[in-house]
Chain A
Amino acid sequence: MAQAVRGLFAGASANGFSMELLEALLVTLLGAVLIRLLAGVISRTLLRGLRDQSRVSIRKTITYVGIALLLVIALDQAGVELTALLGAAGVIGIAVGIASQASLSNIISGLFLVSEKAFEVGDVIRVGDRTGVVHSIDPLSIKLLTFDNLMIRIPNQQLIETELVNVTKFPVRRLDIDLTVPMSVPAQQLIDLLRSCATSVEFVLDEPEPLTLLQEIREGNLVIRFGVWFEKQNYLKARNAIFVEVQRRFREEGIRFGEPIIRIAETGSPEAASASRVVRTDG
């Protein structure tokens, strides 16, 4: 390519130094365009079958390596002595390396993250108290797009060290709801009612079967865990619909949600101690 560019200016009579600079500039510009085109074509053809994340990573690698080579060619074209430059680059590299330990750590962490395949672009992940869709996976960080439309940059090293939950890794999920009902409600009636609620909601899956688990007796009430399965893309619809259905069916059946019951025993006299007052609170 350098030869071709040189050919274009073969007849030019400008001063040699300016000409070399101009050639180097053209080589850089044309080379950058070619690298972008090449990376794009490879991404769309050879890498078509790969996951988005792998495709983007390989595309970026091709681009970065290409640009590095291009810079070397352009500098050579401009008449810069590369041997001396490479010697200087070694010294500078050590200095830069020491100064950019955090960046290097992030790059290495990024490689581990990619190889672990814990998540990919488009997954919904939870890191600490932040949840969002993975927008991009870059050498130094990942970009998370939250559901209230904020872009959060999380350094790769932090991701390696933090507990990360991939919410959409698997195609189906379970939503657990803990319901508190008075002890007077027969447990079997409650189980049947909740199973019937699950059947009524369109987005709730028939299988895996809904979970109904009598958890505990808390503050004089029965706590039951109701878990329904749904496909991950139906999360919002299923969540809203199941709450609406449970509320509707409880109202229809005349079942109230439990209120905490606190018994206060008045001490002092045996009569008073044996009698206790029941106080209901709204919790």
Chain B
Amino acid sequence: MKGVWGPVELSVGETTHRQIRRLRLWIRREAERWLYASDLVDGAGVETVVSRARKASELPWQSILGVGRTEVRLEPALPDKPVLLKAQKPVQVLPDGVLSLVVAVPVWARLEAGVTIFEAESEPMLRTWFGDAQAGESAYAMEIEDWMVGSTPGKGAAHVHVPLKIRNESQSLLSFQRLLVRVVHLSIYGEDSILFTNDVSVTFRSVTQYSQISFSNKSSLDGGGGRLLQEPREKVSDNLIRRSFLFFRGLTE
């Protein structure tokens, strides 16, 4: 994470260029203002690159005025909508069984100076609609190859790893192929080039009973040196409590 996230320290006339997967970001400091520009490059597989380049006159610069003494920071963020995980095949969890997985969600980059100036996704995800066409909700879609793949986080600042646990406390087999993860309620922590969130657990009791979703204050991925980098986009509220007790099909169909 070092060198990618954190304060942007520039002297007057200097420009920095950062690339996080497909997102390229230029930040420039001038005497009276700061400037930033961004674009998306084609193709995948580009990992985080930190480099310094001189200004490119053809870039679509945007001005930030009034920065003054405020620090300009580049911070990681999670998507602004829930993420719908979609697997090729359904997973089946036996009674009393637990499915544990770590989902690597492409990070968003946020430029801030006390308030958010700009934010963009580092890897555009498909837009999708979860629920029926009359009263569903907007989400991003993420295809995963297998429900067990990625149960240990990889290195790199381009993804935020979300530890998920699904417990089957019913007496029947739990089977699902999709799962909606409300990442807007999660915090981001950082440790040794890994970005991760607090734990999410879903307890399934039966088709006819509400499932409980809980967002822990801790992360099972924290090796002890995890530092809070970003608060959740949406804090715990009545709305969240209401949404935390749902029929399981409300998260998977």
Within 8 A of A (CB), among B113-134: 124, 126-130, 133-134
| Binary per-residue interface labels of chain B (85-99) against chain A in the complex, 1 for a CB within 8 Å, 0 otherwise | 000000000000000
Q: Give the distance in Å from the alpha carbon of A172 to the alpha carbon of B138 in the complex.
A: 9
| Cross-chain contact A199 with B126 (CB below 8 angstroms) | yes
For A172, give its contact among B124, B126, B129, B141 (CB under 8 Å): B129
Contacts of A172 in B (CB 8 A): 129, 133, 136
CB of A266 within 8 A of chain B? no
Q: Give the distance in Å from the alpha carbon of A231 to the alpha carbon of B133 in the complex.
A: 10
| Cross-chain contact A170 with B134 (CB below 8 angstroms) | yes
For A203, give its contact among B127, B135, B136 (CB under 8 Å): B127
> When A171-B136, A171-B138, A172-B136 are in contact, do A229 and B126 touch as well, CB less than 8 Å?
no
Q: Give the distance in Å from the alpha carbon of A199 to the alpha carbon of B141 in the complex.
A: 12
| Cross-chain contact B133 with A206 (CB below 8 angstroms) | no
| Cross-chain contact B124 with A229 (CB below 8 angstroms) | no
| Cross-chain contact B130 with A207 (CB below 8 angstroms) | yes
Q: Which residue of A lies closest to B178 (CB)?
A: A207
> When A170-B134, A171-B136, A171-B138 are in contact, do A207 and B129 touch as well, CB less than 8 Å?
yes
Q: How close is A263's CB to chain B, nearest CB, in angstroms?
A: 43
| Cross-chain contact A206 with B136 (CB below 8 angstroms) | no
Q: How close is A84's CB to chain B, nearest CB, in angstroms?
A: 57
| Cross-chain contact A206 with B134 (CB below 8 angstroms) | no
Q: Which residue of B lies closest to A231 (CB)?
A: B138
CB of A93 within 8 A of chain B? no
Q: How close is A148's CB to chain B, nearest CB, in angstroms?
A: 29
| Cross-chain contact B128 with A205 (CB below 8 angstroms) | yes
> When A170-B133, A172-B133 are in contact, do A206 and B126 touch as well, CB less than 8 Å?
yes
Q: Which residue of B lies closest to A229 (CB)?
A: B129
Within 8 A of B (CB), among A166-205: 170-172, 199, 202-205
CB of A208 within 8 A of chain B? yes
Q: How close is A32's CB to chain B, nearest CB, in angstroms?
A: 39
Q: Give the distance in Å from the alpha carbon of A231 to the alpha carbon of B135 in the complex.
A: 12
Contacts of B141 in A (CB 8 A): 206-207
Q: Which residue of A lies closest to B126 (CB)?
A: A206
Q: How close is A94's CB to chain B, nearest CB, in angstroms?
A: 47
Interface SS, A side = loop
Contacts of B138 in A (CB 8 A): 171, 231
Contacts of B128 in A (CB 8 A): 205-207
A-B contact count (CB 8 A): 35
Q: How close is B249's CB to chain A, nearest CB, in angstroms?
A: 16
Within 8 A of B (CB), among A204-226: 204-208
Q: How close is A221's CB to chain B, nearest CB, in angstroms?
A: 31
> When A171-B138, A231-B138 are in contact, do A208 and B127 touch as well, CB less than 8 Å?
no
Q: Which residue of B lies closest to A203 (CB)?
A: B127
Q: How close is A259's CB to chain B, nearest CB, in angstroms?
A: 35
Q: Give the distance in Å from the alpha carbon of A29 to the alpha carbon of B193 in the complex.
A: 69
Question: Which of B126, B127, B130, B138 has the most chain A CB within a 10 Å cutoff?
Answer: B127
Q: Which residue of A lies closest to B143 (CB)?
A: A206
Question: Which of A202, A207, A231 has the most chain B CB within a 10 Å cutoff?
Answer: A207
Contacts of B124 in A (CB 8 A): 202
Q: How close is B129's CB to chain A, nearest CB, in angstroms?
A: 5
Q: How close is A63's CB to chain B, nearest CB, in angstroms?
A: 33
Q: Give the distance in Å from the alpha carbon of A203 to the alpha carbon of B130 in the complex.
A: 15
Q: Give the distance in Å from the alpha carbon of A204 to the alpha carbon of B126 in the complex.
A: 8
Q: Give the distance in Å from the alpha carbon of A205 to the alpha carbon of B128 in the complex.
A: 5
Q: Give the distance in Å from the alpha carbon of A229 to the alpha carbon of B126 in the complex.
A: 13
Contacts of A231 in B (CB 8 A): 127, 129, 138
Question: Which of A171, A202, A208, A231 has the most chain B CB within a 10 Å cutoff?
Answer: A171
Contacts of B133 in A (CB 8 A): 170-172, 208, 229
Q: Give the distance in Å from the alpha carbon of A199 to the alpha carbon of B126 in the complex.
A: 8
**Residue ranges of B at the interface with A (Cβ–Cβ < 8 Å):** 124, 126-130, 133-136, 138, 141
New contact pairs (6) apart from A171-B133, A203-B127, CB-CB < 8 Å: A171-B129, A202-B127, A206-B126, A208-B129, A229-B133, A231-B129
28 residue pairs of the A-B complex, CB under 8 angstroms, read A170-B133, A170-B134, A170-B135, A171-B129, A171-B133, A171-B135, A171-B136, A171-B138, A172-B129, A172-B133, A172-B136, A199-B126, A202-B127, A204-B127, A205-B127, A205-B128, A205-B129, A206-B127, A206-B128, A206-B141, A207-B128, A207-B129, A207-B130, A207-B141, A229-B129, A229-B133, A231-B129, A231-B138
The 4 closest A-B pairs by CB, nearest first: A206-B128, A206-B126, A206-B141, A207-B128
